[in-house]
Chains A and B, each alone.
Chain A
Amino acid sequence: MRGLLKLTWLEIKIFLREPLGAFGTVAMPVLAFVGLGRIAGRGLSAAASPGSPANKLVSVGFPVFSTVLIAISAVLSLVTIISIYRESGILKRLRATPLRPLTILTAHVLVKLLLTATTLALMLLAGKRYYPVGVDVPLAKFTLALLFSTLSILSLGFLLSSVVPTARFAQPLGAIILYPMIAVSGLFVPVSSLPPGIQGLARILPITYAVSLLQGIWTHDAWSAHLGDMAALAAAFVLFTAISAKVFRWE
């Protein structure tokens, strides 16, 4: 336990020492959120009815898009770090200590979740001030929903980082796999209006459920309305974690 906390704290410090590390993961989603809102908000006059699709895109679509970005950049960052650590023998060296393999992964996940929460807080703070339609959101519930979603997508990251041989591959491969998922996630086009084949794909991707959960909680739904989403995210987490535990390579 002492090892876990120390390792987590150490990894936070090391992450902050990386040039552009904090900028890429923390500032990017915040900028995307505020930037998109301002550009779209300019065209959105007060005359537009509050329930119009354009208004919905700005008030729900962009915030959820940005939070999904937060989750994905956390995952990419994890995939990269794990593959660098494996490639350079850091994992192997840690393995020769009483530290359990799971503790090492947990420390990294904690770092990423903490980063996710920080980015979200910054986003909402910036949103209060600069966002065209203002930000009014059940903060605690939304944070929880985001951490839950991140954890589920992180497990997909475990799987990726278990099978990707080198760090140079890890990040681009992760990006190629993760970002297109947003397109079919129901964020911009409802899943039900996608072609049947793509719908099937959307239904097996955790991001789809994350988007549904985040959109719902953002618009003040109750947890009970999203039990299905949470069950799907939890199932994805269990499945991906179990597979990656089987195939994970320490060197």
Chain B
Amino acid sequence: MDSSGASRFVIRVSHIRKTYGRTVAVDDVSFDVQDGGIFGLIGPNGAGKTTTMECVEGLRTPDRGSISVLGLDPVRDATALHEKIGVQLQEAQLQKRIKVWEAVDLWASLYRRTVDSERLLDQLGLSEKRHAWFMTLSGGQKQRLFIALALINDPEVVFLDELTTGLDPQARRAIWELVRGIRDRGKTVFLTTHLMEEAERLCDRVAIIEHGRIVDVDQPARLVDRHCPERTVVLVTTDGAAAEHLGRVRQVDSVIREDSRITLRGRGDDLVAEVISCLSEHRIRVTDFRTIIPTLEDVFLKLTGHSIRD
């Protein structure tokens, strides 16, 4: 591997497999994560997200395949790797009666290089909770503490496993902002989530995993374009000729009319623009206009044949 290749990819996973007894947790997974940006491993519960991530973190040993993180072997060079990465685990706990500042202080003592812990607590909105016991924190506060612990060593790569599961929407949004902040400081973020909205809003690239295999990897918008190019426009008008005019727009595949409501289906990003120009050309007055653009959720449905919530 040449040096430029090594610096472009911070994580390289090649054909890993992990079984527990007869259960195949990870069947055959390969992907690369580039330097910088937020990479998401997305899929339903039990798809193999956490097992894959924990293999990359050096907490599990794959039965087969190879992994390289920052040029290190996660199993052989575990201690050296843990010095350079930050980890937040799914459903992790701390000692019930450990205080917030004590946890951060302990973690800071474990690494050679650390950031200022007071500032870190401040950035994560935990300053007021410095003296609170872990067991008294809310779900969102606990997650913010775990993010603090994952950032204390100024890591090059940050691993976040199902970070916002169980949080209310408001806490979730606050955490998203924090994760974007981590990326903006030049770190690579590798996260898992089963929330498609989270992946779509947060991730620069996603890998879709299902039954222990990667189905596809790309930017969320490109995945949508590739697998779900369909676009839908719904509009309401009393103009009787509207349906006929709109049916002639090149990108429109079908027109459905129910009373004054017209549903246009077609494909490609130009559909919406062409529909709008057709409306203005024929001076069609509309009282409602909505576009329905597919999401990662639809991509998932298309690729796996079932909804992620099944």
Q: Which A residue's beta carbon lies closest to that of B85?
A: A96
Counting CB contacts under 8 A, is A40 at the interface?
no
Is the CB–CB distance between B83 and A98 below 8 Å? yes
Q: Give the CA-CA distance A172 to B91 in the complex, in Å.
A: 27
Q: Number of contacts between A and B (CB, 8 Å)?
A: 56
Q: Which of A2, A7, A93 contacts B92 (CB 8 A)?
A: A93
Q: Which of A7, A90, A98, A99 contacts B94 (CB 8 A)?
A: A90
Chain B: minimal CB distance from A23 (Å):
16
User: How many chain B residues touch A (Cβ–Cβ < 8 Å)?
Assistant: 24
Q: CB-CB < 8 A to A18: which residues of B? A: 97
Counting CB contacts under 8 A, is B107 at the interface?
yes
Q: Give the CA-CA distance A101 to B111 in the complex, in Å.
A: 15
Counting CB contacts under 8 A, is A88 at the interface?
yes
Counting CB contacts under 8 A, is B93 at the interface?
yes
Counting CB contacts under 8 A, is B307 at the interface?
no
Q: Which of B87, B94, B109 contacts A2 (CB 8 A)?
A: B109
Q: Give the CA-CA distance A99 to B108 in the complex, in Å.
A: 11
Counting CB contacts under 8 A, is B23 at the interface?
no
Q: Which A residue's beta carbon lies closest to that of B146?
A: A93
Chain B: minimal CB distance from A5 (Å):
8
Q: Give the CA-CA distance A63 to B58 in the complex, in Å.
A: 49
Q: Which of B87, B91, B95, B111 contacts A14 (CB 8 A)?
A: B95
Known contacts A89-B92, A92-B92, A100-B79, A10 near B59 by CB under 8 Å? no
Counting CB contacts under 8 A, is A3 at the interface?
yes
Counting CB contacts under 8 A, is B57 at the interface?
yes
Is the CB–CB distance between A99 and B92 below 8 Å? no
Q: Which of A3, A14, A92, A100 contacts B59 (CB 8 A)?
A: A92
Is the CB–CB distance between B109 and A93 below 8 Å? no
Counting CB contacts under 8 A, is A56 at the interface?
no
Q: Which B residue's beta carbon lies closest to that of A99?
A: B110
Q: Give the CA-CA distance A99 to B149 in the complex, in Å.
A: 14
Interface centre among A18, A89, A97 (most CB of B within 10 A): A97
Interface stretch of the complex, out of B33-41, B98-106, B162-170, B210-218: B98-106
Q: Give the CA-CA distance A92 to B97 in the complex, in Å.
A: 18
Q: CB-CB < 8 A to B57: which residues of A? A: 96
Q: Give the CA-CA distance A96 to B153 in the complex, in Å.
A: 12
Is the CB–CB distance between A88 and B93 below 8 Å? yes
22 pairs from A and B in contact (CB 8 Å cutoff): A2-B109, A3-B106, A6-B105, A10-B102, A17-B97, A88-B93, A89-B92, A89-B93, A90-B92, A90-B93, A90-B94, A90-B95, A92-B89, A92-B92, A93-B93, A93-B149, A96-B57, A96-B58, A96-B59, A97-B110, A98-B83, A98-B111
Q: What 7 additional pairs, Cβ within 8 angstroms, besides A7-B106, A14-B97, A93-B94?
A: A3-B110, A10-B106, A89-B91, A96-B57, A96-B58, A96-B89, A98-B110
